[in-house]
Amino acid sequence: MKEIVAGVDIGGTNTVFGLIDKKGKIIAEESLKTTDYPKVDDFVAALVSDIDKLLLQKKEYKLAGIGIGAPNANYHKGTIELAPNLSWKGIVPLTSLIMKQIDVPVVLTNDANAAAMGEMIFGGAKGMKDFIILTLGTGLGSGIVINGQVVYGHTGFAGELGHTIIVPGGRDCGCGRHGCYETYASASGLVRTVLYLLSEMREESILRDIQPSELTSKKIAEAAAKKDPVALEAIDYTAERIAFGIINAIGFSSPEAVFLFGGLAQAGEMLLVPVRKYVEMNVQPIFKGTVKILKSGIPESNAAVLGAAALIWNELK
Amino acid sequence: MKEIVAGVDIGGTNTVFGLIDKKGKIIAEESLKTTDYPKVDDFVAALVSDIDKLLLQKKEYKLAGIGIGAPNANYHKGTIELAPNLSWKGIVPLTSLIMKQIDVPVVLTNDANAAAMGEMIFGGAKGMKDFIILTLGTGLGSGIVINGQVVYGHTGFAGELGHTIIVPGGRDCGCGRHGCYETYASASGLVRTVLYLLSEMREESILRDIQPSELTSKKIAEAAAKKDPVALEAIDYTAERIAFGIINAIGFSSPEAVFLFGGLAQAGEMLLVPVRKYVEMNVQPIFKGTVKILKSGIPESNAAVLGAAALIWNELK
């Protein structure tokens, strides 16, 4: 029998899981509603039962392990801790709960670290030992790989670049602090930048006709594609701030590449070109020309499940 | 015969070297003037000959390897590259030049990375796998250890926290950029902070009677010990900025401890107490209470040679 793993992506609303082979091919995929299971024990029972059902349909495969990506996950402990978007309160020992039900290795990390593993095993970072992935969604997640290993740190929570401060006293952040990287370098950061620029600039803009609560990064990207001056300026401003965090990360770990992923990264070269320009302009001289800025090589739609699968494949090596 | 290593600290003016045993005991120490050897081949010949002379005096020991700390050192390549304070121009293949003369392993890294190794093998970081050392001298050097390994990165030059930008558009830096960490968090940064505060504050201060070109961190620490208000405020301001860089580094690698080392760290608790306070006040909630801020456990006078020795002992393991 051929070996296969399960990759599980736990979100606040849905949990998506699949069976993935060594090459990153998704053999089967399913989902369940996370919100249907206010008790974690019930969730675990349903998840294990559903994975078993998938395996019954694919009798030529044998399950070798389960990899999980989840918010506020602690890799060292196998726990989910104080996740604001999940109904399971406190510290949830998820991997041990699952291993009680099914006798395979189970590993757990947060979404961005799983994305980094996906990039390394199945994506654009194949063969790289030092790289960083930035997931530019509503917030900014990051996964850091050094010497071929995801950085978890002493606590298991390392790689929180979204909450490194890039502008002292800058924008209010959901974490209660100010000027965090994600308040500039994310989809919601781009929206805030448009609002700021609408105050600074006098140019006509179609963005003046959208109420702030309805403004999205997608609408801004569409406006930029139509050469709207405020949208273009906002993307340039955002690229400069994305570059700013990348520059500081380069000083820390000198990666071979930085991969951009997530909603904002879908803007593609329109964003990547100015990010590269600002990195090269402003990085320390010793690092000039040493870092590739790339779009993630993993398809957005399957990234979380593939990342979780890569996590466990890497452990099984 | 017992094994011993040579630790070598190459500085712009002097090169200090010693024979160090496995426990970090310095068995013999010597130095030569770096500036006497404008050609690197002559320097290597003199260094190898001098190490041989030390070994002849200690016949019970056998040389197992040589560790070297030097400015602009590339660990991966064993080279010194474009070091502004050395007369050897271009890219100097130092380890291979030495290995041609003496048949033992030779490794090379920069001063701060060597200090990190010293801390891990002989100092306060024994048993730690994730920590950072900041050397607060004229500039700010840093050595980062993750999973028990010094971070060298793709280029070999990782760990340059001194040139991460903590204040966008801030103080001019020697690197040609603005707002670098070391322009605030270093002995020279403290001097600049006093000059800034002399402009901001109206309080009497003995520091008003010292011409700026004569101002040193030592004089400022002495004034603070006498409760000079500008000196006290300058130390508090500096502690807050030191904390600021530490906070961002915690978000990156979540270390167990951060060690302060070098001239400014000699201020001891006067500096450590407010640094700890500002780290706890301003760090991301998830990391509160997780990081120890400590003075280096390595004596300042022997640190560079011990660090270089620790580097090679670690390779030989």
Residues A115, A145: one domain?
Answer: no
Shortest CB distance from B252 goes to which of A252, A286, A287?
A252
Report residues of chain A scoring pLDDT below 50: none
Domain limits at A69? 2-119+301-316
Phi, psi of A29 (to 5 degrees): -145, 145
pLDDT digit string (tens) for B118-140? 999 999 999 999 999 999 988 99
Given its phi and psi angles, is residue A90 left (phi above 0), alpha (psi -120 to 50 degrees) or beta?
A: left
Classify the C-alpha dihedral B62-B64-B65-B67 as positive or negative: negative
| Contact predicate A102/A71, CB 8 Å | no
- The span from the CA of B31 to the CA of B8, in Å, is 9
Residue A272 has, within 13 A of its CA and on its CB side, a CA count of 17
Closest CA of chain A from B23, distance in Å = 26
- Give the largest Cα separation in chain B, rounded: 67
Query: What is the pLDDT at residue A83?
Result: 83
Model confidence at B214, in pLDDT bands (50, 70, 90)?
Answer: very high
Cross-chain residue pair A146–B129, CB shorter than 8 Å: no
pTM reported for the whole predicted model: 0.92
Which residue shows structure tokens 């010693």? B18
Cross-chain residue pair B287–A244, CB shorter than 8 Å: no
Q: What is the CATH number of the domain that holds B214?
A: 3.30.420.40
Residues A68, A18: one domain?
Answer: yes
Q: What Å distances lie between residue B157 and A84, A250, A251, B71, B152, CA to CA?
A: 38, 10, 8, 11, 6
- The span from the CA of B248 to the CA of A180, in Å, is 10
Contacts 24+ apart (CB under 8 A), A207-213: A207/A231
Closest CA of chain B from A58, distance in Å = 39
Model confidence at B83, in pLDDT bands (50, 70, 90)?
Answer: confident
For residues B240-246, give the mean pLDDT.
97
pLDDT digit string (tens) for A133-143? 999 988 999 99
Cross-chain residue pair A153–B167, CB shorter than 8 Å: no
Residue B11 has, within 13 A of its CA and on its CB side, a CA count of 12
Residues B192, B273: one domain?
Answer: yes
Could you say which DSSP state residue A126 is in? Answer: T
Residue B170, pLDDT above cutoff 90: yes
Q: How many CB atoms lie within 10 A of CB A218?
A: 14
Residues B109, B163: one domain?
Answer: no
Classify the C-alpha dihedral B186-B191-B192-B193 as positive or negative: positive
Residues B242, B307: one domain?
Answer: no
Residues B157, B111: one domain?
Answer: no
Chain B residue with Cα closest to A143: B252
Residues A199, A267: one domain?
Answer: yes
Residues B190, B96: one domain?
Answer: no
Contact list, A161 vs chain B (CB under 8 Å) = 251-252
Q: How many domains in chain B?
A: 2
- The span from the CA of A258 to the CA of A291, in Å, is 7
Model confidence at B84, in pLDDT bands (50, 70, 90)?
Answer: confident
Residue B271, pLDDT above cutoff 90: yes
Residues A143, A273: one domain?
Answer: yes
Tell me whether A173 touches chain B (CB under 8 Å): no
Cross-chain residue pair A160–B248, CB shorter than 8 Å: no
**Does ipTM exceed 0.85?**
yes
In degrees, rounded to 5, the angle at the alpha carbon of residue B165 between the alpha carbons of residues A217 and A75 is 65
Residues B13, B87: one domain?
Answer: yes
Helix (H) or strand (E) holding A190: helix A187-200
- Give the largest Cα separation in chain A, rounded: 67
- The span from the CA of B277 to the CA of B231, in Å, is 18
Query: What is the pLDDT at residue B263?
Result: 85
Residue B299, pLDDT above cutoff 90: no
Tell me whether B85 touches chain A (CB under 8 Å): no
Tell me whether A287 touches chain B (CB under 8 Å): yes
Query: What is the pLDDT at residue B266?
Result: 85
Residues B96, B142: one domain?
Answer: no
- The span from the CA of A203 to the CA of A209, in Å, is 13
Q: Comparing A228 with B264, which gets the higher pLDDT?
A: A228
Residues B75, B145: one domain?
Answer: no
pLDDT digit string (tens) for A45-102? 999 999 999 999 999 999 999 999 998 899 999 999 888 889 998 899 999 999 999 9
pLDDT digit string (tens) for B22-72? 999 999 999 999 999 999 999 999 999 999 999 999 999 999 999 999 988
- The span from the CA of A153 to the CA of B284, in Å, is 15
